[in-house]
């Protein structure tokens, strides 16, 4: 006669399994909570994230078991499923107990001295970020703003981005953050690759490299030593792991948690790309390091973040806004810092010695005084013999200068100045000032960055910040967002005032 277990015995067996499973999950939970106090650069951090994911699955299994138990129908529970889940929980508990009882990691990232603030501010950065046409915060722009960098922002305007990539302007760092569901265009990868090949640093965020037609993204990826592996399509868990937790990208200047916190889901379907090492590269300098990937045990594939060319190029293939704002802001700050640090090391770029310490004593040259046959601004003004400066045309007041500031009244000035010394002098973006009066109250403005940036893209001369070589002239367009009731305006030029100390001062009255 076939041996049969009574319903009451089966229920007791099921309860025993259920209680065992519950106990083991509790052990895992307590162990995970214990490990949350460990340092963010601990080598077990990626394992901890993986265990969290498995714990979620176990919790779901437990909920299913509980629902079945309440119905009193134990025959729906497959014994093999129970045994497999129980074995997984047991292995987790054992591993967590080992990790929790082990010594703290003594491995800490090598920290370097902060780079010179003047050097960081001196770089020329070109920013494209297509989330500017969305309701979301522009994290790349925020990272630049909080770091005090000087940059030219084209927002989501691909036409402007292309124009400046193909221009004669030398860019030290190019940032292309293409996250939105828009066609980024394969040609941009070629333009960026050309700039990188000439020595520029770059940070590229793109979630769909395989969409680029006829493999136009392949040259940039190949230069980096990686290639497209597969789409990261609608994963159940949008988590990835640090593959090189001691890398400076995760520690300078911010220490980044090993598990990025998810934000609310924005994108559906194909949310990113996975990269793997390529078998060959286009240059001998390929030193790609997969920094983050979807599998902590596979360090050569399934990558979503890579650094290469000795840190001068960073490629991110996941979407920034899928993760917590604060985490991503710190990570982007680290991207910028580390790519520039590598750029400085590879190019040897330096900022000129502050002019105030390098220049000999020069005789003071006054600006025009007294009656003149025309307004003062049409004459060349002296800046203590160091610079000469003048307006190339009359000041103009303009509304609707460009679409993002349609309601502002801008005072637009086209300025030409020349370095009359034998020394290169750095002019900073903070060296320009507009002063005026309103009902006896002094008004003071710095130029509006967005509007002035628009003037540059529109063809109004050079960038307002840069090294002015001996005898070199520079033509810049400045846009000040002013109170329309103000008057008695003066342009004040104080080269070196932002960092080095004022080298000289020139004042140009703007009224007739």
Secondary-structure class of domain 117-347 per CATH? alpha beta
Rank 49-63, 219-233, 363-377 by mean pLDDT and report only the highest.
219-233
With contact defined as beta carbons under 8 Å apart, do 322 and 266 qualify? yes
Question: Does residue 357 or residue 223 have the better pLDDT?
Answer: 223
Q: What is the DSSP letter of 368?
A: P
- Residue 389 backbone phi and psi in degrees, to 5: -150, 140
**pLDDT score, position 179:** 83
DSSP letter string, 485-509: T-EEEEEEE-TTTTTT-----EEEE
Instruction: Looking at 198-315, list the stretches that DSSP marks H as alpha helix, in order from N- to C-terminal side.
Output: 218-224
Contact 138, 329 (CB under 8 A): no
Give the residues across from 475 on adjacent strands.
416
Distance CA 133, CA 131 (A): 5
Tell me how far apart the 2 most distant CA atoms of the chain are, in Å: 125
What pLDDT digit, counting tens, does each position of 187-227 carry?
A: 899 999 999 999 999 999 987 887 766 578 889 999 999 98
How much of the chain exceeds pLDDT 90, in percent? 45
Any residues with CB less than 8 A from the CB of 177 and at least 6 apart, and which?
127, 128, 129, 130, 131, 139, 140, 203, 205, 320
Q: Any idea which residue has 């090949």 for tokens?
A: 197
d(CA 10, CA 242): 45
Predicted structure pTM score: 0.75
Of 2.60.40.1240, 3.40.630.10, 2.40.110.10, 1.10.3720.10, which CATH number belongs to 355-509? 2.60.40.1240
Q: Where do the domains of the chain lie?
A: 7-101, 117-347, 355-509
% of the chain at pLDDT higher than 70: 69
For the stretch 449-507, pLDDT in tens is: 999 999 999 887 999 999 999 999 999 999 999 999 999 999 999 999 999 889 999 99
Give residue-wise pLDDT tens across range 110-149.
Answer: 444 456 899 999 999 999 998 777 778 899 999 999 999 9
The pLDDT tens digits for 423-434 are 999 999 999 999
Of residues 345, 118, 314, 149, the one with CA closest to residue 225:
314
pLDDT at position 136 is 83
């Amino acid at each position: 006669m076939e041996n049969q277990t009574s319903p009451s015995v089966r229920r007791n067996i099921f309860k025993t399994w259920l209680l065992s499973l519950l106990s083991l999950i509790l052990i895992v939970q307590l162990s995970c909570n214990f490990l949350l106090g460990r340092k963010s650069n601990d080598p077990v951090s990626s394992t901890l994230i993986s265990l969290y994911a498995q714990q979620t699955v176990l919790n779901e299994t437990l909920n299913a078991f509980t629902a079945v138990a309440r119905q009193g129908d134990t025959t729906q529970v497959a014994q093999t499923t129970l045994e497999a889940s129980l074995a997984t929980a047991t292995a987790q508990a054992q591993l967590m107990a080992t990790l929790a009882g082990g010594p703290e990691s003594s491995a800490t990232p090598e920290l370097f001295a902060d780079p010179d603030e003047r050097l960081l501010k001196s770089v020329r950065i070109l920013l494209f970020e297509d989330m500017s046409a969305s309701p979301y915060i522009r994290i790349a722009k925020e990272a630049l703003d909080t770091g005090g960098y000087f940059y030219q922002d084209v927002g989501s305007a691909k036409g402007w981005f292309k124009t400046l990539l193909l221009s004669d302007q030398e860019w030290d760092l190019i940032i292309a953050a293409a996250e939105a569901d828009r066609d980024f265009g394969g040609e941009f990868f070629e333009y960026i690759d050309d700039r990188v090949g000439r020595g520029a640093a770059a940070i590229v965020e793109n979630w769909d490299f395989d969409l680029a037609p006829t493999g136009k993204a392949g040259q940039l990826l190949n230069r980096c030593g990686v290639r497209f592996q597969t789409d990261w399509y609608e994963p159940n868990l949008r988590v990835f792991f640090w593959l090189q937790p001691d890398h400076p990208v995760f520690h300078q200047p911010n220490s980044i948690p090993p598990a990025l916190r998810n934000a609310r889901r924005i994108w559906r379907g194909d949310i990113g790309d996975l990269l793997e090492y390529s078998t060959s590269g286009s240059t001998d300098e390929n030193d790609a390091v997969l920094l983050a990937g979807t599998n902590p045990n596979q360090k050569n594939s399934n990558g979503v973040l890579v650094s290469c060319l000795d840190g001068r190029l960073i490629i991110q293939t996941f979407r920034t806004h899928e993760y917590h704002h604060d985490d991503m802001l710190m990570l982007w700050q680290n991207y910028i810092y580390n790519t520039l640090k590598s750029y400085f090391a590879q190019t040897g770029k330096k900022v000129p010695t502050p002019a105030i310490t390098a220049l000999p004593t020069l005789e003071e040259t006054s600006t025009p005084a007294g009656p003149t046959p025309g307004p003062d601004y049409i004459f060349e003004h002296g800046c203590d013999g160091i610079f000469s400066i003048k307006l190339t045309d009359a000041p103009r007041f303009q509304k609707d200068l460009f679409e993002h500031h349609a309601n502002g009244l801008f005072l637009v000035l086209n300025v030409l100045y020349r370095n009359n010394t034998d020394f290169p002098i750095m002019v900073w973006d903070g060296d320009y000032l507009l002063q005026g009066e309103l009902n006896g109250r002094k008004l003071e403005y710095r130029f509006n960055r967005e509007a002035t940036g628009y003037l540059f893209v529109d063809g109004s001369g050079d960038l307002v910040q840069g090294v002015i070589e001996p005898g070199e002239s520079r033509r810049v367009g400045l846009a000040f967002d002013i109170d329309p009731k103000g008057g008695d305006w003066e342009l004040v030029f104080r080269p070196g005032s932002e960092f080095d100390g004022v080298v000289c001062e020139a004042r140009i009255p703007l009224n007739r």
